[in-house]
Amino acid sequence: MAKILSAFVALAIFAAVARSQPAVSLLIDNGYPSTGSIDLTTVLADVSTKKGQTFHFGSTYDTYDADQSWFDTAFATFYHHVVSENGCKWDATEPTQGVSDLTECLATQSFATTYDNSFRGHNTFWHEQTPTWLPGSFTADELVGTIIPQHVQQEIQGMGTSVTSWDVVNEVVGDGVTTGMTALECVQNKGDWPTVTSDGSGVPLVTDLSFVYAAFKTAYTYAGSSTRLAVNDYNTGGQDAKTACVISLVQSIQQNTSIPYDRLAIGFQSHLMASTGNFYTKEELATTFSTLAALGVNAMITEMDIEIGQNNTAYLRYQASIWGDYVDACLYASNCNEFINWDPRDDLSWRGVAAAATLFDASGNPKPAAYEVAARLQNYAAGNAEPCSTSSGTSVCTITGTGTTTTGTTTTTSTGGSTTTSISTTTTSSTGGSTGCVSALYGQCAGIGWTGCAECATGSTCTFLNDCELFILLLPMFELKAYLGKGY
């Protein structure tokens, strides 16, 4: 669960005012099912085969959630990966200092095992949902040298080596960060315990990143040999200061702890709203994921939900298009293999039932987004090309045919109609299927009056120069240095 800060209050007001949403084109309009029950068991296995790595698609679960029979079916058929929403947080696992209590965390893991689901750990360090004995009057040395390592060891060792990934630290980066901040400045900007005390004095307790390093070092010692260790945070995924901060934090963790990059991950929480500017585009996500892939770091969508302005067909379809784009961003990236939906149905959503922010309605029935997500998985498993960015609306992305052909278009008409310009597609893989429209490196991809391809070849991205540039040229210098392995 994330804490939504004041930024979201502003967004909520914006969403209430903005009543319109673009008409979108979906795979479920093109031959994929939009009614009936959904069983993803086979398709997820096929996705994993295609990716060459297990693709973990799941949701939150806690044993005290109501309607157990619905959960039994949902996790036997639709979701195949479990995260305990609250049962593995510090307040649950160490209510008395030094005494480990993994009862609820283990129970959710056992539920996962019953349905042949994998299990992800959330989380070992967060400034919220801490036990009552914390923050407490401990010294920085006691916290960093004893309390954190003991807690992380008890939890990670206790949950075993099969856990796919752990959110080792959760929400440690501030919201007021600016470009170019160091990892320490990013974390100090958070203004929360333990980089400040909680007694209102404003005096820092820990003045460096040692608490983060201690948590990661311990996690690395006790986790399974393929368990990924993640920094998890919200409002991340694009080319912005907060995302740069989480990347730079991961780099600083690697440098301090020597944990290999191929054991580290960034969890992109993705608590979104269905309005422009309140989610990242598929292209923005792809650029960030490529940056991480170049380092060997995994990208994960860890807490996906999308609040809609109104519970009507147009919004439900817009929600489906955004969800579909996020699923595609993960599927078609080499380094993304976990996708967690945060809360399995609307009535259990931490964002409130009125937000209608999940894949299933309050009665547990699949919404358009659930069918669209299923369609994206099937489309990928079938070896078809990546669909265009449906959340851009039909003026830029119209899917045609039976979902095996997608046509990227860039024509906008002043009438607001859905006129599209078909662009011939080329087959780029031996697996069949056709691609969206892709511009070559240094080719044009945008601009006033431009009606050609809007997407760029792999490894490049459409820049403000309106052409496709290698993503490496766009990295801030500190990332470029790390990428090139320069020691300065």
Ligand X SMILES: *[C@@H]1O[C@H](CO)[C@@H](O)[C@H](O)[C@H]1NC(C)=O
Among 256, 334, 400, 412, binds ligand X (CB under 6 A): 256
* 311 touching ligand X, by CB under 6 A: yes
Strands (E), 342-418: 397-400, 405-408
In whole angstroms, how close is the CB of 256 to ligand X at the nearest point? 4
Q: Which stretch binds ligand X (CB under 6 A): 209-217, 276-284, 336-344, 407-415?
A: 209-217
Write each residue from 267 to 286 as x if it is in contact with ligand X (CB under 6 A), else as -, in one continuous string: --------------------
Q: What residue has token string 């042949």?
A: 116
Residue burial 194-216, b: 16+ Cβ < 10 Å; e: rest: bbbeeeeeeeebbeebbbbbbbb
* 185 touching ligand X, by CB under 6 A: no
Q: Provide the 10 A C-beta neighbour count for residue 453.
A: 22
In whole angstroms, how close is the CB of 354 to ligand X at the nearest point? 6
343 contacts 392 by C-beta, under 8 angstroms = no
Quote the CA–CA distance of 27 and 320 in Å, as a whole number.
Answer: 10
C-beta of 101 vs 361, nearer to ligand X: 361
* 186 touching ligand X, by CB under 6 A: no
Quote the CA–CA distance of 105 and 109 in Å, as a whole number.
Answer: 6
Q: Name the amino acid, one letter, at 158.
A: G
Among 208, 281, 425, 442, binds ligand X (CB under 6 A): 208
Q: What residue has token string 């992800």?
A: 120
Q: Which residues pair with 397 in a beta bridge?
A: 408
89, exposed or middle or buried, with CB in 10 Å at 0-12, 13-18, 19+? Answer: buried
* 213 touching ligand X, by CB under 6 A: yes
Q: Number of residues in contact with ligand X, rule: CB under 6 A?
A: 12
- Name the token pair of 309: 């302005």
Q: Which stretch binds ligand X (CB under 6 A): 148-156, 208-216, 384-392, 396-404?
A: 208-216
In whole angstroms, how close is the CB of 488 to ligand X at the nearest point? 15
C-beta of 363 vs 427, nearer to ligand X: 363
Quote the CA–CA distance of 343 and 350 in Å, as a whole number.
Answer: 7
Residue burial 265-296, b: 16+ Cβ < 10 Å; e: rest: bbbbbbbbbbbeebbbbbbbbbbbbbbbbbbe
C-beta of 152 vs 377, nearer to ligand X: 152
- Name the token pair of 348: 């259990």
Residue 53: CA count within 13 A, CB half-sphere? 13
C-beta of 147 vs 209, nearer to ligand X: 209
Separation of first and last alpha carbons in the chain: 37
166 contacts 121 by C-beta, under 8 angstroms = yes
In whole angstroms, how close is the CB of 357 to ligand X at the nearest point? 9
Question: Between residue 40 and residue 59, which ones bind ligand X under the rule CB under 6 A?
Answer: none
C-beta of 129 vs 311, nearer to ligand X: 311
In whole angstroms, how close is the CB of 320 to ligand X at the nearest point? 14
C-beta of 23 vs 353, nearer to ligand X: 353
* 67 touching ligand X, by CB under 6 A: no
Among 362, 382, 457, 474, binds ligand X (CB under 6 A): 362
Q: Which stretch binds ligand X (CB under 6 A): 108-116, 205-213, 219-227, 432-440?
A: 205-213
* 91 touching ligand X, by CB under 6 A: no
* 361 touching ligand X, by CB under 6 A: yes
In whole angstroms, how close is the CB of 251 to ligand X at the nearest point? 12
Among 209, 273, 377, 381, binds ligand X (CB under 6 A): 209
> Computed from CA positions of residues 235, 238, 240, 243, in that sequence, does the dihedral angle turn out positive or negative?
positive
Question: Between residue 331 and residue 360, which ones bind ligand X under the rule CB under 6 A?
Answer: 346, 353-354, 356
- Name the token pair of 181: 């901040």
C-beta of 303 vs 307, nearer to ligand X: 307
Residue in 297, 253, 295 with CA at minimum distance from that of residue 480 = 295
In whole angstroms, how close is the CB of 140 to ligand X at the nearest point? 10
In whole angstroms, how close is the CB of 257 to ligand X at the nearest point? 7
Q: Which residues pair with 304 in a beta bridge?
A: 341
**Residues in contact with ligand X by the rule CB under 6 A:** 208-210, 213, 256, 311, 346, 353-354, 356, 361-362
